[in-house]
Amino acid sequence: MLDPTQTLAVLARKLARPRGLVGWLYTSNPFYVLSADLVFIGLRMSFDTSGRTIETGALMIALLGYTLLLATTACLLIRCGRVWDDARTMLLLIVAMFLAISVTFDETLAGSPRLGRACFLGGLLFAVLVSEGLLRGIRLRLAPLYHVPYLLILGLFFLYPLVLSPFLHDPEGPVLRWLLFGFSPLAGLAFLSLIPAIRRGPGYVAKNGSPWPYPLFPWTLFGLLAVAVCGRAAYLCTSFHFVEMSRLVGRSDSIFGPYFLVPFLLAMDVLLVEAAIVSRNRPMQRLAMAVLPGVLVLAVLGHRTDPVFRGFLGLFREGLGGSPLYLSLVAVTGLYGHAAVRRVPLGLAGLASSLIALSVIGPDTFDLNGLVAPRPFPLLAAAILEIGLAARRRESWRGLVGSACLIAAGAIGLDRLGLEAYRELVAFHLAVIAAILIGAWFQDRLGRFLWHLAAACLGLSCLVAIRGGPGPIDRVPADLLRAYPLLVIVACFLLGYGSRCRSFLAVALVGLTGWLASVGWRSYCDLRRIAVGLDWIASGLIFFALAAAISLLKTGLPARWVDGRHADRLDAGPDTEAQGPVN
């Protein structure tokens, strides 16, 4: 029989290793999260924050008390039991409670500015003191280059509403609306202060006093703060921009749009690129480049027709000189350029793609329905980039892409000069010249294919010029059109002779045959006007040639000549083989 002490010990060991659903609940322990959510909801429902001093003070004391309860519990769990898994959840909950306090008293600040300022400043002081005390209590070391940005971001949550408060009396004024938009860029700048810490690498947070490895510590904390920034940017526009209520949905219209988050998300991508470069993580670098186009999606989505939203969108366009989509694309192009300089994979591809996109997205393009006519200068920049990379890296496909951009820029430039009548002809011949140059420069599979394609295009253009007819060639001067087939024939012969490419030689032969046939037919037509019976004479000569050929076959001379050539070839074979060993 076991005594009661031993029985309790066995029971405690069994409870320490539960299985199934109980085991999952034991390991994950989500009850701290449920507790914090329920307590926060209950307190918000129980107290009015519209400006009453007693109820606002009671809510503040309750929130601070529950946060202290979480902090004390976390400290005891770590100092006494070393329960780091539960403590990690509680530490994040404590930071979440700080953020919840920072958004709880927006209505108080609007209704009673003095009381609201006291709540925000007191909440900030409380958050800083609890953070410092908790870090010292659990002996968790947050390196200074991470510690300072944390306090900076925390201060932004509490102090930014105080910046808005002097302008709340004029909700339709431009200052308040610009300040509401400015939270996201300012938060992005605060997060960019983490770059020095990132460049120190994982070793900077080693031996931090916890079992949490990098990047789990401290990036879980900043991940929570980043999510909170996105939510706070939207909630600021609801809680501090007072407009008429919508009759349909029963809520205020808001100036907020997904494009508000673009500056902050671009800053987060910069941090991701820096972390990937420091850790030399190529997949993470590719991920950082691949997610950048998602920022452009945010700049397009969520556009509404209500006057409040449209009012600030127009103010944004006039104030910054471009639509959210255009300015986001310019920023993305700059980030791709920065990544290309840092030799991040996909950086050059993203830069070229962004430049091409800039050719059809202008300052007044708010969505895909507002694309503009292609502009030459972004295409010219993309062409210079791709052709330079093609020459440096010996990549023919880049030369092809760069040539396409250059040809498109040239065609658009002709439109600007009023020469749009020759756009198709100039673009065609530039494309042929580019294909010939790429094939001559790289001499790879794609280059050889482009050579054959260029030869086929020249042959087709030569036959079209010989044949004539309606189309773009009608705009070409008559003298140039007559000389064009001979120029193509000579050029193809020289290219074929110099490069030993049979395609160009074949085109030269076909072109010469077609030209001679065309010249002969025109001459024949001219003679018909002089000699009325020329058709009969020509028919008679054709029949004479046919009869002479038949007679020649009857003599047997062609057959004897072929047999003699075959016999000579057979006689030469053994002699050649016999002479081989001697030589």
Residue 358 confidence (pLDDT) above 90: yes
pLDDT at residue 560, rounded to an integer = 75
344 and 239 part of one domain: no
Residue 250 confidence (pLDDT) above 50: no
DSSP, collapsed to helix, strand or coil, labels residue 252 as strand
Residue 579 confidence (pLDDT) above 80: no
Token representation of residue 403:
């040539």
Number of domains in the chain: 3
Pair 361, 369: CB distance under 8 Å? no
pLDDT digits (tens, 9 = 90+) for 373-382: 888 899 999 9
For helices 502-528 and 478-499, the axis angle rounded to 10 degrees is 150
418: DSSP letter: T
348 and 452 part of one domain: no
Pair 63, 120: CB distance under 8 Å? no
pLDDT digits (tens, 9 = 90+) for 561-573: 777 776 766 666 5
Among the candidates 350, 372, 394, a domain finishes at 372
75 and 158 part of one domain: yes
Token representation of residue 317:
């366009």
Average per-residue pLDDT for the chain: 83
Residue 3 confidence (pLDDT) above 60: no
pLDDT at residue 26, rounded to an integer = 44
Token representation of residue 168:
């709340």
- pLDDT > 70: what percent of the chain? 85
349 phi, psi to nearest 5 deg: -65, -40
Residue 578 confidence (pLDDT) above 50: no
pLDDT at residue 247, rounded to an integer = 39
pLDDT digits (tens, 9 = 90+) for 290-332: 999 999 999 998 888 888 899 999 999 999 999 999 999 999 9
pLDDT at residue 158, rounded to an integer = 96
Among the candidates 340, 372, 404, a domain finishes at 372
Does 298 fall in a domain? yes
d(CA 526, CA 98): 98
Does 232 fall in a domain? yes
DSSP, collapsed to helix, strand or coil, labels residue 139 as coil
Q: Which helix (H) or strand (E) holds 297?
A: helix 293-300
Does 576 fall in a domain? no
226 and 310 part of one domain: no
**For the chain, first and last CA: distance in Å?**
109
278 and 185 part of one domain: no
From the centroid of its chain, how far is CA 53?
51
575: exposed, middle or buried (Cβ count in 10 Å: 0-12, 13-18, 19+) = exposed
pLDDT at residue 212, rounded to an integer = 84
pLDDT at residue 472, rounded to an integer = 59
Does 15 fall in a domain? no
What is the span of the domain harbouring residue 164?
A: 22-244
What helix, strand, coil percent values describe the chain, rounded to 5?
80, 0, 20
pLDDT at residue 211, rounded to an integer = 84
Does 571 fall in a domain? no
DSSP, collapsed to helix, strand or coil, labels residue 1 as coil
- pLDDT > 90: what percent of the chain? 39
Residue 118 confidence (pLDDT) above 50: yes
105 and 185 part of one domain: yes
262 and 230 part of one domain: no
94 and 161 part of one domain: yes
pLDDT at residue 573, rounded to an integer = 57
Mean of the pLDDT values across residues 363-378? 90
Among the candidates 331, 349, 372, a domain finishes at 372
Does 95 fall in a domain? yes
Of 147, 130, 139, 138, give the one whose Cα is nearest residue 218.
147
* Least confidently predicted of 132-141, 199-208, 566-575: 566-575
Alpha helices in 77-194 (DSSP H): 84-104, 106-111, 113-137, 144-164, 174-192
pLDDT digits (tens, 9 = 90+) for 74-106: 888 887 767 777 777 888 889 999 999 998 888
27 and 149 part of one domain: yes
pLDDT digits (tens, 9 = 90+) for 451-496: 899 999 988 888 888 776 555 566 667 777 778 888 988 999 998 8
d(CA 9, CA 23): 19
201: DSSP letter: -
d(CA 158, CA 172): 24
Does 159 fall in a domain? yes
Residue 338 confidence (pLDDT) above 60: yes
212 and 282 part of one domain: no
53 and 192 part of one domain: yes
Does 473 fall in a domain? yes
pLDDT digits (tens, 9 = 90+) for 390-417: 988 888 899 999 999 999 888 888 776 6
For helices 307-320 and 324-341, the axis angle rounded to 10 degrees is 50
Q: Please, which residues bridge with residue 252 across strands?
A: 245
pLDDT digits (tens, 9 = 90+) for 420-461: 777 788 888 899 999 999 988 888 889 889 989 999 998 888
| Residue partners of 167: CB distance under 8 A and separation at least 6 | 173, 175, 176, 179
d(CA 160, CA 172): 19
Pair 399, 390: CB distance under 8 Å? yes
d(CA 504, CA 499): 9
Pair 425, 476: CB distance under 8 Å? yes
Pair 328, 357: CB distance under 8 Å? no
pLDDT digits (tens, 9 = 90+) for 167-197: 988 888 899 999 999 999 999 999 999 999 9
* Least confidently predicted of 6-15, 26-35, 487-496, 508-517: 6-15
Residue with tokens 């671009």: 266
Q: How many CB atoms lie under 10 A from the CB of residue 392?
A: 9
229 and 350 part of one domain: no
Residue 61 confidence (pLDDT) above 70: yes
Token representation of residue 91:
């530490």
